[in-house]
């Protein structure tokens, strides 16, 4: 191969994940770059028993309460919130919304924390300050003026506490709708739909302790070095005691290869690192169902060989007989599926799939971890269920050191779901809500995120309330979602910082600034704690310590209650009493959800308590009363083979971003500095197209993927030759969202197929330089 040409901002990262680079990045975030003073940092008590829960991710805290854990990206998340920059009324007076629209997403949030409640004035095209009371009165009036409650959408982003989320769903249901689009709809909905059918719970079954007892960890489609960095400590410990760590990911991700723990002085000072993956396999993007079926087929063949030669069984037939249903159907499907097809769909040879199966078969207790690489596909739900099938084949659910571990996204996305943020609530939950609060919650199911956008676009939904987040920017197809937002009668954003969604103004638009998790929250009864649930169903308290960014800020529970009071006319809910003391909100949650019994007492201890998880006790709350093998028909994600030359695009996160929030323009572990306008391509795929590393290209989505014609092209990005599976390309979200059709989602869960977008690469047609 020719010597790769020099491309600005594109290099190679040679070191391990973590190490001094991570500490330097923390220092940069803390010193000035994000406008945080050292004193502020000293005041913080992140993930300490008496401090606040890190808003960075949902990975659990270690059991030893003293072993304070913090990471580079946690530091960035905290510094982002604790910044000394402020977005004040003077700033809004100096800039029209049209002018602000032209700024980058990075610049908008970099203005800092919102300080005052604001209302949009169409006359001057500016946001103007408004008193809280006046804002609430107008919001209440606008909601009451809707043709019906179902014309309102109540969006939740997963940072909201259990207390805020519970009040929010109570408000919307007392108002009369189950329209709860939420970030989970774009994230782990395939988990929430797929796991209950397979094993009867919609959450992971393992605890952190299980990681100490397993001897194999499989990582499917997640990138912990960036998105769950504290997990690297767990992987490091497992690797050091000799557990196998098997990675299935089209990209080589540094955090899954090598890690230097900043918490271990010796490793740091000696410049040593711990190798993480014992086996790293790179299927093509969208090839997971084929990988999993290949592993199952290989396992089956091994088991048959073992039976023929009187060796011990590889498959746990006793467990299958006493706990499961549907195994025969699975076996028939595996027998009918030929290796040639599996190899083509997986992009891996049979020998590699057999090696994966052998690694699995040789383990005593295995944990399967997975993230967006599994869920964000047209077959996301089926993918999740294939993971379950493979675990069930060896009885790897409901015993020590074994189980399934979805890596959840936002720090409380799982808790929000538990306390009622769902568009498809159960009848029993609604009945208990009615009984406890004397309301009549609607029974009709509501809209998920995609459905809410389609309803807004059609003019059927007229109001959108957002409890955090950046919905139209996080969703596919900005052209459609932005247009949908602009048609609304009412938009209300409860937020900490300015983002693009706030600039998509409706007839009436309100921007309501709230306290963040790091800040002291004082109500009538004194300082308050909130509670959150992590990825492993541990519920614990979090208490902010920093002085609020502005005296005008209100807490999310306060804002939700104020909106409810201004909107509802004949409810008998004591909103003021609930907000005066969040302990009363927790009592109300416990009254509705028995799993939260003695809630206040149980969160008063450092690590809180674990919610019951039936599958981890081998109790199967499925329709059949057993764990179900659920067979997926076929192998393919969205087949690209009908489109000669098409590649499969996955949209991914850089190391310097939190979803739509950009902390900066570097992606250190992938060697990218100061830019995001790149697409990662396998060198052979470049060569096949007569393209080279550094060429400027256009990415064109295959237009008829889901029967939605229309040109979608991301122009003028730089091709970067990368260690990525053949047939696969990757680009950063949210810039690449314009390539994803709104209708391109998993029909079973509604999860957008952000990680399987068939595209063509073309030499750039525009002559302007980037
Ligand atoms: N610092 C930081 N932390 C975060 C976030 C953040 O943006 N920044 N976001 C939070 C949220 S909301 C979430 S949901 C999580 C997301 O955490 P992750 O699930 O780790 O998210 P992604 O970066 O989108 O994608 C993860 C991996 O999927 C791989 N992948 C892509 N396509 C495929 C495929 O077809 N098959 C397989 N097997 N793998 C594939 C990519 O190579 C990438 O390594 O992180 C949370 N934590
Ligand atoms: N192409 C593509 N698109 C994706 C994904 C992908 O992998 N690829 N991933 C999807 C996933 S997994 C998710 S979860 C969604 C994320 O979707 P969202 O959750 O809607 O987006 P965020 O970017 O996390 O929201 C950032 C905003 O939240 C507000 N905020 C921050 N902290 C707080 C707080 O404490 N309270 C309140 N009220 N507001 C706060 C700030 O104003 C900030 O601008 O994006 C999805 N979109
Ligand atoms: Mo997410």
- Per-residue pLDDT tens for 552-611? 999 999 999 999 999 999 899 999 999 999 999 999 999 999 999 999 999 999 889 999
Cβ atoms of residues 140 and 562 within 8 Å: no
Q: Please give the distance, rounded to the nearest whole angstrom, from the Cα atom of residue 469 to the centre of ligand 2.
A: 4
Average pLDDT, the chain: 93
Q: Please give the distance, rounded to the nearest whole angstrom, from the Cα atom of residue 57 to the centre of ligand 1.
A: 12
Q: Is 716 helix (H, G, I), strand (E, B) or coil?
A: strand
Specify the DSSP element, H or E, that contains 325: strand 324-325
* Residue extents of the structural domains in the chain: 17-81, 88-187+431-590, 193-406, 641-763
* 331's tokens: 């076996």
In the β-sheet with 609-610, what is the strand arrangement from edge to edge? 530-533, 538-542, 609-610
DSSP 262-320: TT-HHHHHTT--EE--SEEE-PPTT-HHHHHHHHHHHHHHHHHHHHHTTPPPSS-HHHH
Q: How many CB atoms lie within 10 A of CB 632?
A: 17
Confidence of residue 269 (pLDDT cuts 50, 70, 90): confident
Residue with tokens 């029209």: 96
Residues near ligand 2 with C-beta < 6 Å?
109, 157, 159, 183, 186-187, 372, 376, 409-410, 467-471, 474, 494-497, 499, 514, 516-517, 556, 651, 659-661, 733-734, 736-737, 740, 754
Cβ atoms of residues 651 and 476 within 8 Å: no
More confident position, 62 or 291: 291
Q: Give the model's pLDDT for residue 8.
A: 93
Ligand having the closest approach to the CA of 499:
2
Residue with tokens 């919102």: 114
Cα(276)–Cα(237) distance, integer angstroms:
9
Torsion angle of alpha carbons 452, 455, 457, 461, nearest 10°?
A: -90
Ligand having the closest approach to the CA of 371:
1
Q: Tell me the β-bridge partners of 244.
A: 216
Specify the DSSP element, H or E, that contains 395: none
Q: Is the CB of 387 under 6 A from ligand 1?
A: no
Q: Give the model's pLDDT for residue 35.
A: 73
Q: Give the model's pLDDT for residue 109.
A: 96
Question: Residue 68: is its pLDDT beyond 60?
Answer: no
Cβ atoms of residues 101 and 503 within 8 Å: yes
Cβ atoms of residues 190 and 381 within 8 Å: yes
Q: Whose CA is nearest to atom 18 of ligand 2?
A: 469
Distance set, CA 98 to CA 103, 122, 174, 413, 503 (Å): 9, 11, 37, 33, 8
Q: Whose CA is nearest to atom 22 of ligand 1?
A: 652
Ligand having the closest approach to the CA of 369:
1
* 285's tokens: 């993007």
Could you report how far apart the first and last alpha carbons of the chain are, in Å? 27
Instruction: Quick: pLDDT tens for 498-541.
Output: 999 999 999 999 999 999 999 999 999 999 999 999 999 999 99
Distance set, CA 483 to CA 151, 339, 503 (Å): 17, 46, 12
Q: Is the CB of 192 under 6 A from ligand 1?
A: no
Cβ atoms of residues 386 and 633 within 8 Å: no
Cα torsion 180, 183, 184, 186: sign = positive
Question: Residue 703: is its pLDDT beyond 90?
Answer: no
List the one residue out of 145, 134, 742, 138 whose CA is nearest residue 462: 145
Q: Give the model's pLDDT for residue 45.
A: 65
Kindly give the pairing relationship between strand 279-281 and strand 244-248: parallel
Q: Please give the distance, rounded to the nearest whole angstrom, from the Cα atom of residue 648 to the centre of ligand 1.
A: 16
Which segment of 23-37, 129-143, 325-339, 678-692 scores lowest on mean pLDDT? 23-37
Cα torsion 120, 121, 126, 128: sign = negative
The predicted model gives 402-412 an average pLDDT of 96
Q: Tell me the β-bridge partners of 491.
A: 464, 509
Instruction: Quick: pLDDT tens for 339-396.
Output: 999 999 999 999 999 999 999 999 999 999 999 999 999 999 999 999 999 999 999 9
CA-only gyration radius of the chain, Å: 25
Instruction: Cite the beta strand spans of 622-712 per DSSP E.
Output: 627-628, 647-652, 657-658, 661-662, 678-681, 696-701
Q: Give the model's pLDDT for residue 2.
A: 47
| pTM of the full structure | 0.96
Which segment of 1-15, 173-187, 271-285 scores lowest on mean pLDDT? 1-15
Q: Kindly give the number of the ligand 2 atom that is closest to the alpha carbon of 109.
A: 44
Please choose from 652, 681, 724 the residue to mutate so as to test ligand 1's pocket, defined by most ligand atoms within 8 A of CB.
652
Q: What angle do CA 112, 117, 118 make, to 5 degrees?
A: 90
Q: Whose CA is nearest to atom 27 of ligand 1?
A: 222
**CATH level 3 topology of 641-763:** Barwin-like endoglucanases (2.40.40)
List the one residue out of 343, 348, 329, 341 whose CA is nearest residue 389: 329
* Residue 124 CA neighbour count, 13 Å, CB half: 10
Domain covering 193-406: architecture: 3-Layer(aba) Sandwich (3.40)
Question: Residue 1: is its pLDDT beyond 60?
Answer: no
Cα(317)–Cα(392) distance, integer angstroms:
10
CATH number, span 88-187+431-590: 3.40.50.740
Instruction: Quick: pLDDT tens for 178-217.
Output: 999 999 999 999 999 999 999 999 999 999 999 999 999 9
Q: Whose CA is nearest to atom 2 of ligand 1?
A: 227
Q: Whose CA is nearest to atom 37 of ligand 2?
A: 468
Instruction: Quick: pLDDT tens for 71-95.
Output: 888 888 888 998 999 999 999 999 9
Cβ atoms of residues 175 and 143 within 8 Å: yes
Instruction: Quick: pLDDT tens for 209-248.
Output: 999 999 999 999 999 999 999 999 999 999 999 999 999 9
Question: Residue 66: is its pLDDT beyond 50?
Answer: no
Q: Please give the distance, rounded to the nearest whole angstrom, from the Cα atom of residue 411 to the centre of ligand 3.
A: 9
* 61's tokens: 């805290």
DSSP 3-state percent helix, strand, coil across the chain (nearest 5): 40, 20, 45
Cα(424)–Cα(401) distance, integer angstroms:
32
Cα(745)–Cα(724) distance, integer angstroms:
24
Cα(306)–Cα(319) distance, integer angstroms:
18
Q: Kindly give the number of the ligand 1 atom that is closest to the alpha carbon of 655.
A: 1
Kindly give the pairing relationship between strand 152-156 and strand 258-260: unpaired
Task: Report which listed range, 4-13, 704-713, 724-733, is most confident.
Answer: 724-733
Confidence of residue 69 (pLDDT cuts 50, 70, 90): low
Q: Is the CB of 222 under 6 A from ligand 1?
A: yes
Q: Is 84 helix (H, G, I), strand (E, B) or coil?
A: coil
The predicted model gives 661-686 an average pLDDT of 96
Residues, the chain: 770
Q: How many CB atoms lie within 10 A of CB 362?
A: 12
List the one residue out of 403, 405, 401, 381 whose CA is nearest residue 391: 403
Q: Is the CB of 372 under 6 A from ligand 1?
A: yes
Confidence of residue 314 (pLDDT cuts 50, 70, 90): very high
Q: Please give the distance, rounded to the nearest whole angstrom, from the Cα atom of residue 755 to the centre of ligand 1.
A: 10
Which segment of 254-263, 413-422, 732-741, 759-768 scores lowest on mean pLDDT? 759-768
């Amino acid at each position: 191969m020719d010597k790769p040409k020099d491309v600005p901002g594109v290099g190679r990262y040679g070191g391990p994940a973590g190490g001094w680079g991570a500490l330097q990045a923390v220092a940069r975030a803390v010193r000035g770059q994000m406008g945080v003073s050292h004193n502020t940092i000293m005041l913080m008590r992140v993930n300490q028993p008496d401090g606040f829960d890190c808003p960075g991710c949902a990975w659990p805290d270690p059991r030893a309460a003293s072993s304070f854990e913090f990471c580079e990206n946690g530091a960035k998340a905290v510094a982002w919130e604790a910044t000394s920059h402020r977005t004040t009324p003077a700033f809004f007076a100096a800039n029209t919304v049209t002018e602000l629209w032209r700024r980058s997403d990075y610049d908008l949030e970099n203005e800092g924390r919102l300080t005052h409640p604001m209302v949009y004035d169409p006359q001057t095209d500016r946001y103007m300050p408004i008193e809280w009371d006046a804002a609430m009165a107008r919001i209440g009036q606008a909601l009451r003026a809707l043709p019906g409650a179902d014309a309102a959408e109540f969006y939740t982003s997963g940072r909201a506490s259990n207390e805020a989320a519970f009040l929010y769903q109570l408000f919307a249901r007392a108002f009369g709708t189950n329209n709860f689009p939420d970030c989970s709809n774009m994230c782990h909905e395939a988990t929430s739909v797929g796991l209950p059918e397979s094993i009867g719970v919609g959450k992971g079954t393992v605890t952190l302790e299980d990681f100490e007892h397993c001897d194999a960890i499989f990582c499917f489609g997640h990138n912990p070095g960036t998105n769950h960095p504290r997990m690297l400590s767990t992987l490091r410990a497992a690797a050091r005691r000799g557990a196998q760590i098997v990675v299935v990911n089209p990209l080589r991700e540094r955090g899954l290869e090598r890690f230097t723990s900043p918490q271990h002085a010796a490793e740091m000072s000696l410049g040593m690192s711990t190798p993480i993956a014992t086996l790293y396999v790179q299927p093509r993007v969208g090839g997971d169902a084929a990988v999993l079926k290949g592993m199952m087929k290989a396992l089956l063949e091994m088991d048959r060989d073992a039976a023929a030669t009187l060796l011990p069984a590889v498959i746990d037939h006793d467990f299958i007989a006493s706990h499961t249903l549907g195994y025969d159907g699975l076996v028939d499907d595996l027998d009918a599926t030929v290796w040639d097809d599996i190899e083509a769909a997986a992009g891996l040879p049979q020998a590699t799939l057999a090696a994966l199966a052998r690694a699995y078969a040789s383990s005593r207790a295995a944990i399967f971890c997975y993230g967006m690489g599994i869920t964000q596909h047209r077959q996301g739900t089926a993918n999740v269920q294939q993971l379950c099938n493979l675990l069930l084949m060896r009885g790897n659910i409901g015993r020590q050191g074994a189980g399934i571990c979805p890596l959840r996204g936002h720090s409380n996305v799982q808790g929000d779901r538990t306390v009622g943020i769902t568009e498809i609530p159960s009848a029993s939950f609604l009945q208990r809500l009615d009984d406890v609060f004397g309301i009549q919650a609607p029974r009709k199911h509501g809209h998920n995120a995609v459905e809410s956008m389609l309803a807004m676009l059609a003019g059927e939904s007229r109001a959108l309330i957002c409890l955090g987040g950046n919905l139209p920017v996080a969703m596919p197809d900005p052209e459609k979602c932005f247009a949908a937002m602009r048609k609304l009668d009412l938009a209300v954003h409860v937020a900490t910082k300015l983002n693009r969604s706030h600039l998509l103004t409706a007839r009436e638009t309100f921007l309501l600034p709230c306290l963040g998790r790091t800040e002291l929250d004082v109500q009538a009864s004194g300082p308050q704690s909130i509670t959150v649930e992590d990825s492993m169903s541990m519920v614990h308290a979090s208490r902010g310590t920093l002085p609020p960014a502005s005296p005008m800020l209100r807490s999310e529970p306060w804002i939700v209650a104020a909106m409810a009071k201004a909107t509802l006319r004949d409810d008998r809910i004591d909103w003021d009493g609930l907000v005066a003391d969040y302990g009363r909100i927790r009592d109300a949650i416990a009254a509705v959800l028995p799993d939260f019994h003695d809630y206040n007492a149980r969160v008063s201890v450092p690590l809180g308590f674990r919610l019951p998880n039936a599958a981890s006790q081998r109790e199967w709350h499925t329709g059949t009363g057993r764990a179900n093998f659920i067979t997926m028909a076929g192998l393919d994600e969205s087949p690209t083979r009908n489109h000669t030359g098409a590649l499969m695009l996955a949209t991914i996160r850089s190391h310097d971003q939190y979803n739509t929030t950009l902390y900066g323009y570097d992606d250190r572990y992938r060697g990218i500095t100061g830019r995001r306008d790149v697409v990662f391509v396998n060198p052979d795929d470049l060569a096949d197209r007569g393209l080279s590393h550094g060429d400027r290209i256009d990415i064109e989505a295959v237009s008829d993927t889901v029967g939605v014609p229309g040109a979608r092209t991301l122009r003028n990005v730089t091709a970067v030759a990368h260690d990525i599976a053949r047939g696969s390309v990757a680009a950063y979200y949210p810039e690449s969202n314009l390539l994803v059709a709104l209708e391109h989602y998993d029909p079973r869960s509604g999860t957008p197929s952000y990680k399987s977008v068939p595209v063509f690469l073309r030499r750039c047609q525009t002559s302007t330089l980037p």
